[in-house]
Amino acid sequence: MSRNNNHAQTPLLELDHVTKSFAGLTALHRVSGKVMPGQIKAIIGPNGAGKTTLYNLITGIYEVTEGDIRFEGESLLGLKPNQIANLGITRTFQNIKLFDHMTVLENVLVGQHNRTHTGFVAAALRLPRSRQEEREAVERGMALLKMVGLADRAHDNATDLPFGLQRKLEIARALASRPKLLLLDEPAAGLNATESQELVDLIRRVRADGVTVMLVEHDMELVMDVADEVLVLDYGEVIADDIPEVVQNDENVITAYLGVE
């Protein structure tokens, strides 16, 4: 994807001088950046640079102190996390947050929550409409599980899965809501080489399906391999935002982050 093309389009997500302070401590300082539709955008930076804080701001878990975050041109400020999810932004967590005491399939079904409508009354009475919806949701859920290779574990308890599969399931659950933008928080952490490669393939397939991906990741090889653009944070500020080749050779990045010097 060439950068020149991108200038013609409106960004899917736009960070406009975003500042976040916690009781006087500035976690992010006037962070600006764009994510174009169809892009895989990586956010990197040393520990404590503010990557996860940025995710928490985008998904509405934290409130922005100053600045604006726009999704498809509309401000996300003041929206609750579930409202932001309904607009089409979902995420995974650094420390996997699967729903325990629920099966693999049920986790993916919760992912479809905003695409389904059965309420208390329809559920209690098992109205034909809600039974139909349930059947369709299960079908879609199974298709999704097949895609990530978890179909044969559909009825196992989610938290009984090995670690690598739990990561995949969390991504599948996020995808189940049909997001426009998927935020992955260190998806490769704790994965072995094979699993990492499968993850790269999965991310590419997700993008091919039309989902824009943001990726916070420490595995530089993976980032440089898969990302179209890389935004580098250091002490809460953007020090670089460009294609991987440029970022890799950026003086500031090398000193601040890669520490090759």
Partner 1 sequence: MNRNLIGIILLTLFILFTGWYEITQPEGFSSLTGGIVTFDAMVRIGILTIVVVGLNLLMGYTGQASLGQAAFYGLGAYFSAILTARAGVLGIPETIAKAWWWPWLLIPAGMALTGLFAYLVGRPILRLKGHYLAMATLGLGIVVVILFRENFGISANVLSLTGGSDGIPGIPRLRIGDYELWPVTRYFFLVWGAAILSIILALNIVNSRVGRALRAIHSSDLAAEVIGVDTAIFKTRVFVLSAMMGSLAGSLYAHFQAAVSPPTFDFVASLELVIMAAMGGMTSVWGAPFGVALLLIIRELLRARMHRLFEGAGGEFEVVAFGLILILLMIFAPDGVIKGFRSLITRVRPAAAKS
Distance CA 181, CA 146 (A): 22
User: How far, in Å, are 40, 42, 81, 229 from residue 224 at the CA level?
Assistant: 11, 9, 30, 9
Out of 37, 70, 72, 93, name the contact with partner 1 by CB under 8 A.
93
- Residues of this chain, 174-193, that bind partner 1 according to CB under 8 A: 174, 177
Judged by CB, which is closer to partner 1: 98, or 239?
A: 98
Q: Is 224 in the site for partner 1 (CB under 8 A)?
A: no
**Of 1, 19, 99, 235, which lies in the binding site for partner 1, with binding defined by CB under 8 A?**
99
* Binding residues for partner 1, total number by CB under 8 A: 39
Helix axes 104-111, 128-148, angle to 10 degrees: 110
Residue 253 corresponds to which amino acid?
A: V
> Of 100, 139, 152, 201, which lies in the binding site for partner 1, with binding defined by CB under 8 A?
100
Q: How far apart are CA 142 and CA 152, in angstroms?
A: 9
What single-letter amino acid sits at 49? A
Site string for partner 1, 3-42 (x = CB under 8 A): ----------------------------------------
Alpha-carbon span 74 to 261, nearest angstrom: 42
Q: Is 220 in the site for partner 1 (CB under 8 A)?
A: no
Residue with tokens 């949701």: 137
Residue with tokens 């329809």: 122
Stretch that binds partner 1, among 21-29, 71-79, 132-140, 222-230 (CB under 8 A): 132-140
Region for residue 28 given its phi and psi (left: phi exceeds 0; alpha: psi -120 to 50; beta: otherwise): beta
**DSSP strand pairing (212-216 vs 229-234):** unpaired
Distance of closest approach, residue 247 Cβ to partner 1, in angstroms: 28
Please name the residues in contact with 81: beta carbons below 8 A apart, sequence gap of 6 or more. Answer: 59, 60, 61
126 lines the binding site for partner 1 (CB under 8 A): yes
Least gap, CB of 216 to partner 1 (angstroms): 15
- Residue 110 within binding range of partner 1, rule CB under 8 A: yes
Smallest gap from Cβ 96 to partner 1, in A, equals: 9
CB of residue 112 to partner 1, shortest distance in Å: 8
Q: Does 86 bind partner 1 (CB under 8 A)?
A: yes
Residue 166 near partner 1 by CB under 8 A: no
Candidate ranges 10-18, 30-38, 116-124, 190-198; the one touching partner 1 (CB under 8 A): 116-124
- How far apart are alpha carbons 68 and 78 in whole angstroms? 10
Bridge partners, residue 159, by sequence: none
CA neighbor of 213 nearest in space, from 2, 40, 3: 40
CA distance 93 to 257: 23
Binding residues vs partner 1 (CB under 8 A): 59, 61, 80-82, 84-86, 90-91, 93, 97-102, 106, 109-111, 113-114, 116-120, 123-126, 130, 133-134, 137, 173-174, 177
